[in-house]
Amino acid sequence: MGKGFYISKTVGIVGIVLAAGALATITALPVVYSQEKSKNEVKSTDPTVAPSNEPWDQWRLPQTLSPKTYNVTLWPRLQPDPTGLYIFTGMSSVVFRCVEKTNLILIHSNKLNMIKQPTLTALGSKPAPTIESIVMHTKTQYMAIHLKEELTAGESYELYTEFLGELSDDLGGFYRSEYYENGVKKVVATTQMQATDARKAFPCFDEPAMKAVFHITLLHDPATVALSNGVVIGKVNITVDGTLVTRTTFAPTEIMSTYLLAFIVSDFVFIEQNIDNLQIRIFARQEAINAGQGEYALSVTGPSFKFFEKYYNVPYPLPKSDQVALPDFSFGAMENWGLITYRETSLLYDEGISSNENKERIITVIAHELAHQWFGNLVTVRWWNDLWLNEGFATYGEYLGADEAEPDWNIKDLIVLNDVHKVFAIDALASSHPLSSKEEEIQRPEQISEVFDTIAYSKGASVVRMLSTFLTEEVFTQGLQTYLDHFKFSNTVYTDLWEHLQRAVDSSGTTLPRTVQEIMDRWVLQMGFPVVTINTTTGQITQEHFLLDPETKPDRPSEFNYEWFVPISWTKKEAAQALYWLLQKTEQSDHMKISGDEWVLANINVTGYYRVNYDNENWQRLLNVLQTSRQSIPVINRAQIIDDAFNLAKAEIVETTLALRTTLFLASETEYMPWESALDNLDYFYLMFDRTEVYGPMQTYVGNQVKNLFDYFTTLTNWENVPPGHTDQYNQVNALRVACSTGLEDCTTLVKTWFQQWMENPKVNPIKPNLRSTVYCSAIAAGGEKEWDFAWEMFEKATVASEKDKLRTAMACATEPWLLNRYLKYTLDPGKIRKQDVTPTIVSIASNVVGQPLAWDFVRANWEYIFNQFGGKSFSFPNLINGVTNRFSTPFELEQKLLLSPGMGIVYQTLWFQTTITSLSGLDSS
Ligand SMILES: *[C@@H]1O[C@H](CO)[C@@H](O)[C@H](O)[C@H]1NC(C)=O
Ligand SMILES: *[C@@H]1O[C@H](CO)[C@@H](O)[C@H](O)[C@H]1NC(C)=O
Ligand SMILES: *[C@@H]1O[C@H](CO)[C@@H](O)[C@H](O)[C@H]1NC(C)=O
Ligand SMILES: *[C@@H]1O[C@H](CO)[C@@H](O)[C@H](O)[C@H]1NC(C)=O
Ligand SMILES: [Zn+2]
C-alpha cells in the first residue's frame, strides 16, 4: 500500500484495543481506555480463557489444502435495491489440491451470505466426499465445510459457491464510492483487498502464500466499464434474471496472492500510452480526464516503469498497467497487480491549480506502487510479519523511480526529511518496536493492520537505504536481481534477501566486517537506533541506544543489548570521506582525534540510521563553520545537525541553547532542507509553548531569522514567478508561511490582498498554486465568517481533489471558535466531508491552537459515532487520537494523554520549558 496514514505503534494499539470492547456512551475516554487495556492484557496472558484448538478457532489456515485456480464471477449492483441497500452477487469455484488428508474444508469468507448450498466435485478418479454440514465462523472469518469422508492427499477438488454481499461504503473489500458529475450521482464499485478483505468479496484462501491463478468475470451495466487485473478477453451482452448486462471476461492472472486482486465497475474514462508492448492507462472521472488531470501521471508512469524493469532486471509479466483514481479511498494507493488504485490526490494533477507538492506526491506514489509490481507482487513475503520489507523497500523505491521521472528535483535527498527524520521521532520512544515481528505475534486482522505503520514504511526505507549505501548500489542491485529471479511467483522470508545480497557481496570481492545477516539482524530485530558520540578530544567513539525520554527504559529486552554494527561515514575539514565500522560499544580511533580549527562531521548525507553527538569543542567548531563557511558542510548534513541537536536537547544530552544555536546560520541560508529541518523542530516548540510566555521571544527570534529568506524570494520572484528549483519552490512557501505567521507586514499585506482579489472575483483565482495552502490558511485565520464561507463555497465547487484538500485544510485555520465548532459538526455529515477526509479534517482543527480543545471535546462527545465509523481496523482512528492530543502539554493534559498512550516520552517537556526562555533571550541572530 502507499502511504497516506502515519501512526505510531503505541497509538495504533489504542485503536485496536478499543475495538475489542463494545463501547456504549463514553464520557471519560482515558479511563475507559485503561480499563479496556487491562482487560485485554488479562485475556492474552490467561491460558484458561484461550480458545479451543479446533482449526476454525485458529487465525491461520491449516496446511491441508492448497488452491490452484479460481473462477470468480461478480455482479455489483450500482443501483440500490428496494430497501435502499447496495449489493453484489457472485459465484466462485476454486480448484484446490489436498496436501494432507482431512475431512474439513476451511476457507475464508467474511460477511458473505451463501445463497445456494456449496457443492464439492472431485477432479480425480475417486468420488468427492459428501458434505455433512457448513458452519460460518464470523470471528475467525471462515466458512467450515465438514465432510462425511476424507479428502485424499494428492487429489484435486473443486468447491463451488454462490453468494451475496453488501456493496457498502466502508472502503474495504468490494465497496462503493459515490460522486456527483453535473449534478448526477454516480456510483463506482471498487475494491481494497489488502490486507484481509478479499474474503469479503468471495470465499478464498486469503493468505499471501496461498497463491493461485484467478479467472475473473464481471457482470455490469452496458453503459459502464469493467476492469480487473488481467486484460479483457471477452465482452458480450446477455440477459440475467431479466436484466440486460455486459459480461466482461478477463485473461487469467499470473500466479498471485489474493490481497492483490482488484475489480472496478465505473463509467470512468481513460487516456493511454503504449511503451514496448506495455499498455499504460490512467482512469478517472470523466470530468477530471477531460480537464487533462491524468496527463502528468501518464507522462511519468512510463519512465518510472522502464526504470524499475531495468533496475530489477526482470521483465514485467503483464501486458498492461492501469492506474485508477477513486473519489473514496482510504489509503494513499494500492499496488494491485496490473490495476493500481489511487486516492484522487495521489494521481490527478492540474497544471494551473495543483502545487509542486501535489506533483511530488503523485510521482512518488506512482513509483512506490510500481516498485511493488515486482517487490511484493512477483515475489511476496510469506506472512504479514515481514511486511516491513515489502513496504520499506517500496518506500525506498519511491525516490529512485521519482528521480528517474524528474531528474532535476534532487528528490532522493528528501528521504532524509520525509522518512529518516520522521521515523527517528517514533523509533526513539521506549514503546517503539522492532521492524520484524514473529509470525505468531501477527495473527488477527487487527494485528495485521497494525503492522502497516511508520516503522514499517519509513524505518524500513531508511535501513534499506543504509544497506544499499554500505554494500554499494551495484552490489545491492545484483543481489536484489537474483533474489527476484529466484523467487518469482512465490513467497519468501526476509532472510532470503540477505542470502542473495551476501552472494553478491562474496562474488564482488567487497569486504564487510560481518555478514549481511549479522549486520542487519541488529537493525531489524531490535527496536530503536543508536546515538554515536564522537569525542574529538580523546578520539573515543561510543554508541548508546537513543531514547527521547531519558527517564524511560525500553519496553522489551534485546538479544543484542541495544548495540549495533554502525557504518560511520565521516569527513574532516582537510580529509576525504571515509567509512568506519563501529562494532563495539566503545572504540578508539586516532582519526577522530583532532585539534586546532579542524572539525569532524559524521553520517554524511544521513545514509546511516543513527544520530551523532560530539564533544562540546567539535560542536562549537561545527557551529562556527555553519556561520562562516556553511558550504563546506553538505546541505543534507546542515539539516542533520539541526535535527540531531534538537533531539539530543530533548533527550537532555546537550543544552537547549546548543540546539537553538544550530539555527543561527539560517539568517543567511536559502536552501530548503536546513530550513525545513529547523521549522519542523521549531514547530514543536510552538506546539508545546504557544500558550505560554515563550511565545513572544520565539516569534521575535524566528521573525528575525526569516526576514532575509523572505527578501531573497521577493527579489527572485517578486511573488509573481515560480522559482526554478523544486526544493526552492518549497522554501518559497516556507518563507511566506513563516514571515506571515511571525507578523512581517509585507507578507500579511500580500496575502490579504490576494485573497481579497479572489473573493471579489471568484472565477479567477490570482493565488499561485504552490502558495495556496499557506495563503488560504493565513487569510482564513486573519478573517472571519465571510472568508470562511467563501472558502466553503469554493471547496464545494472545486473539481480538482488537491484544490479541495487545500481549502479543507485551510478552513481549520479559522480562529473563531464557533466557526471551528460548526466545521467539526460538518465532519459528521458525509454529504459535506467525505469519510476518507474526516480524520484529517479533525486533526487539522486540533493542530490549531484555538481548535485543539474544541476538537478534543468534539471527539469525546461523538465518540460512539466516530468509533463505529473509524474504529475497528481503520488506520485513521489512531491517527485521530494522536492528532487531537498532539498539543497536550499541561500536567493535566499530559496525564490524559499518558493514559491514552503510555510511554509517549513527554515528561521531558516540562523540564525543557524552563530552559527555553533563558536560552532564547541569550540568542543573538545578527
Ligand atoms: C468459469 O465459470 C463460468 C460459469 O460458471 C464458465 O462459463 C467458464 O467456462 C469458467 N471458466 C473457466 C476458465 O473455468
Ligand atoms: C451491449 O449493449 C450496449 C447498449 O445496449 C452497446 O452499446 C454495446 O455495444 C453492446 N456490447 C456488445 C459487446 O454487444
Ligand atoms: C551527498 O548528497 C549530495 C546531494 O544529493 C550529493 O551531491 C553528494 O554526492 C552526496 N555525498 C556523498 C558522499 O555521497
Ligand atoms: C570527551 O572527553 C573528555 C576528556 O576525557 C571529557 O572531559 C568529555 O566529557 C568527553 N565528552 C563527551 C561528549 O564525551
Ligand atoms: Zn506499499
The CATH number of the domain holding residue 634 is: 2.60.40.1910
Burial level of 320, CB count in 10 A (0-12/13-18/19+)? buried
Residue 626 CA to its chain's centroid (Å): 34
654 CA → ligand 4 middle, Å: 13
Summarize the chain as % helix, strand, coil (round to 5): 45, 20, 35
Give residue 894's pLDDT: 52
Q: Looking at 288-302, 432-446, 482-496, which range is the least confident one?
A: 432-446
Closest alpha carbon to 912 in 695, 689, 701, 697: 689
Measured distance CA(463)–CA(280) in Å, rounded: 32
246 CA → ligand 2 middle, Å: 7
Residue pair 744/711 in contact by the 8 Å Cβ criterion: no
Average pLDDT score over residue span 32-48? 39
Q: Residue 98 falls within a domain, yes or no?
A: yes
More confident site: 873 or 519: 519
Average pLDDT score over residue span 244-265? 98
Ligand 4 pocket test target in 615, 617, 618 with most atoms within 8 Å of CB? 615
Q: Is 663 helix (H, G, I), strand (E, B) or coil?
A: coil
Residue 249 — pLDDT band, cuts 50, 70, 90? very high
Residue 26 CA to its chain's centroid (Å): 30
User: Which residue's CA is minimally distant from atom 9 of ligand 1?
Assistant: 71
Sequence-separated (6 or more) residues with CB below 8 Å from residue 684 = 646
User: Which residue's CA is minimally distant from atom 14 of ligand 1?
Assistant: 71
β-strand pairing of 530-535 with 540-545: antiparallel
Residue pair 101/153 in contact by the 8 Å Cβ criterion: yes
More confident site: 415 or 911: 415
242 CA → ligand 1 middle, Å: 21
Residue 727 CA to its chain's centroid (Å): 22
CATH number, domain with residue 222: 2.60.40.1730
**Residues linked to residue 225 through DSSP beta bridges, in sequence order:** 266
Nearest-atom index, ligand 2, CA of 246: 1
| Residue 908 pLDDT exceeds 50 | no
Does 749 sit in the ligand 4 pocket, CB within 6 Å? no
Q: Residue 317 falls within a domain, yes or no?
A: no
Q: Residue 893 falls within a domain, yes or no?
A: no
- Numbered residues of the known binding site: 368, 372, 391
| Residue 7 pLDDT exceeds 80 | no
Give residue 123's pLDDT: 96
Residue 436's identity, in one-letter code, is S
Residue 882 — pLDDT band, cuts 50, 70, 90? low
Burial level of 527, CB count in 10 A (0-12/13-18/19+)? buried
Does 538 sit in the ligand 4 pocket, CB within 6 Å? yes
- Numbered residues of the known binding site for Zn(2+): 368, 372, 391
Closest alpha carbon to 295 in 372, 247, 349, 259: 349
| Single residue among 213, 246, 267 that ends a domain in this structure | 267
Q: Residue 778 falls within a domain, yes or no?
A: no
Q: Residue 285 falls within a domain, yes or no?
A: no
Ligand 2 pocket, residues with Cβ under 6 angstroms: 222, 235-237, 246
| Residue 891 pLDDT exceeds 70 | no
- Residues designated catalytic: 369
Does 662 sit in the ligand 4 pocket, CB within 6 Å? no
* Cβ atoms < 10 Å from Cβ of 290: 12
Give residue 696's pLDDT: 82
Does 535 sit in the ligand 4 pocket, CB within 6 Å? yes
| Residue 595 pLDDT exceeds 90 | no
Give residue 440's pLDDT: 92
pLDDT in tens, 737-786: 999 989 999 999 999 999 999 999 999 999 999 999 999 999 999 899 99
Average pLDDT score over residue span 51-65? 92
| Single residue among 613, 641, 657 that ends a domain in this structure | 657
Sequence-separated (6 or more) residues with CB below 8 Å from residue 628 = none
Give residue 37's pLDDT: 36
Measured distance CA(593)–CA(542) in Å, rounded: 14
- Ligand number, closest to the Cα atom of 2: 5
Closest alpha carbon to 64 in 102, 95, 121: 102
Show the DSSP H helices in 472-562 as ranges: 473-487, 494-508, 516-524
Q: Residue 328 falls within a domain, yes or no?
A: no
Average pLDDT score over residue span 550-568? 92
Ligand 3 pocket test target in 603, 605, 636 with most atoms within 8 Å of CB? 605
Give residue 887's pLDDT: 58
Average pLDDT score over residue span 296-320? 95
Give residue 885's pLDDT: 65
Each residue of 98-110: b (16+ CB within 10 Å) or e? Answer: beeebebbbbbbb
Residue 909 — pLDDT band, cuts 50, 70, 90? very low
Give residue 686's pLDDT: 75
| Residue 567 pLDDT exceeds 80 | yes
Sequence-separated (6 or more) residues with CB below 8 Å from residue 329 = 171, 177, 192, 341, 342, 343, 344, 836
Give residue 860's pLDDT: 79
Helix axes 29-45, 9-20, angle to 10 degrees: 80
Residue 31 — pLDDT band, cuts 50, 70, 90? very low
Measured distance CA(606)–CA(569) in Å, rounded: 9
pLDDT in tens, 132-178: 999 999 999 999 999 999 999 999 999 999 999 999 888 889 999 99
Sequence-separated (6 or more) residues with CB below 8 Å from residue 557 = none
Work out the percent of the chain whose per-residue pLDDT is above 90.
73
| Residue 253 pLDDT exceeds 70 | yes
Residue pair 285/188 in contact by the 8 Å Cβ criterion: no
Q: Looking at 98-107, 273-282, 896-905, which range is the least confident one?
A: 896-905
Q: Looking at 499-508, 601-610, 839-848, which range is the least confident one?
A: 839-848
Computed from CA positions of residues 899, 900, 902, 908, in that sequence, does the dihedral angle turn out positive or negative?
A: negative
Domain range for 95:
9-267
Residue 374: all three cell numbers together: 515486482
Residue pair 43/21 in contact by the 8 Å Cβ criterion: no
Give residue 325's pLDDT: 97
Q: How many domains does the chain have?
A: 3
Place of cell 504552490: 770
Residue 329 — pLDDT band, cuts 50, 70, 90? confident
Does 636 sit in the ligand 3 pocket, CB within 6 Å? yes
Q: Residue 478 falls within a domain, yes or no?
A: no
Q: Is 185 helix (H, G, I), strand (E, B) or coil?
A: strand
pLDDT, the chain, mean:
88
Measured distance CA(853)–CA(817) in Å, rounded: 10
| Residue 580 pLDDT exceeds 70 | yes
Q: Residue 234 falls within a domain, yes or no?
A: yes
Residue 451 — pLDDT band, cuts 50, 70, 90? confident
Nearest-atom index, ligand 3, CA of 410: 5
Residue 321 CA to its chain's centroid (Å): 22
Residues with CB under 5 A from ligand 5 (ion): 1, 391, 394
424 CA → ligand 5 middle, Å: 20
Residue 657 — pLDDT band, cuts 50, 70, 90? confident
| Single residue among 887, 903, 919 that ends a domain in this structure | 887
User: Which residue's CA is minimally distant from atom 10 of ligand 2?
Assistant: 237
User: Which residue's CA is minimally distant from atom 10 of ligand 3?
Assistant: 605
Give residue 864's pLDDT: 74
pLDDT in tens, 190-219: 999 999 999 999 999 999 999 999 999 999
Ligand 1 pocket, residues with Cβ under 6 angstroms: 71, 215
Show the DSSP H helices in 96-158 as ranges: none
Torsion of CA 343, 348, 350, 353, to 10 degrees: 10
- Ligand number, closest to the Cα atom of 617: 4
| Residue 226 pLDDT exceeds 70 | yes
71 CA → ligand 1 middle, Å: 6
Give residue 330's pLDDT: 76
| Residue 90 pLDDT exceeds 90 | yes
Ligand 1 pocket test target in 217, 219, 249 with most atoms within 8 Å of CB? 217
Residue 577 — pLDDT band, cuts 50, 70, 90? confident
Size of the chain in residues: 926
| Residue 910 pLDDT exceeds 60 | no
Give residue 878's pLDDT: 56
| Residue 30 pLDDT exceeds 80 | no
Give residue 506's pLDDT: 96
Measured distance CA(48)–CA(44) in Å, rounded: 10
Closest alpha carbon to 591 in 574, 606, 603: 574
Average pLDDT score over residue span 238-253? 96
Q: Is 318 helix (H, G, I), strand (E, B) or coil?
A: coil
* Cβ atoms < 10 Å from Cβ of 452: 22
Average pLDDT score over residue span 440-458? 88
Q: What is the largest CA-CA distance in the chain?
A: 91
Residue 364: all three cell numbers together: 512518488
